[in-house]
Amino acid sequence: MSQIILASTSKYRRSLVSRLNLKFACVAPGTDEYALPDEAPTGTAIRLAESKACSIAKRYPEAVVIGADQVADLEGKPINKPVSHDRAVAQLLLQSGKLVKFHSAIAIAQMDSSGELRWKSCINTTDVHFKDLNESQIQAYLAAEKPYDCAGSFKVEGLGISLFEAVKTTDPTSLVGLPLIDLCKLLRHFKIDVI
């Protein structure tokens, strides 16, 4: 089996891929994560996932490289990781009572022995309907989980689930940042079966 590399240093993505019982290494892709002018959120997510996978695949010939990116959008406008408490409060107040779409893209790339780079990618969109939230609920949640490194200012795998009215998705792991059902499908194109 080819070496597998996750083009990420995210502890969340590492934890997700670990669930598949695959032996893999993590390598930081060094990709500048920004949206291009007038780029749709889905386009940004796919472009960044492909960029991460392809840049590492060029450095590790014959390795199967997994790249991932997630872009959240509220009414077509991207929502970034909040980084600070005040930004997280503002994000959650803005998302209160609204539908936010989380676009999770994955790409797998491999450079073969002849130097030809090939890749496949896909995107999975999860619809999150937020409850009507007041500031005291938001403050209590942020004090409990401090999700400042998470798009949308929540951790769905923890108490963040209590912020939602409903979630609609075809892959429950997509909201964490790497849709494992889609990953398993893409890995088969590179002759890797999880089971």
Residues designated as active site: 69
At 127, list the tokens: 């619809």
Q: Dihedral, CA atoms, 156, 162, 166, 172, nearest 10 degrees?
A: 20
User: Is 174 in contact with 124 (CB distance < 8 Å)?
Assistant: yes
Distance CA 147, CA 132 (A): 19
- Candidates 14, 131, 111; CA nearest to 56 is 111
- Candidates 183, 190, 189; CA nearest to 18 is 183
C-alpha separations of 186 from 4, 97, 112, 155, 171 in Å: 13, 35, 17, 26, 14
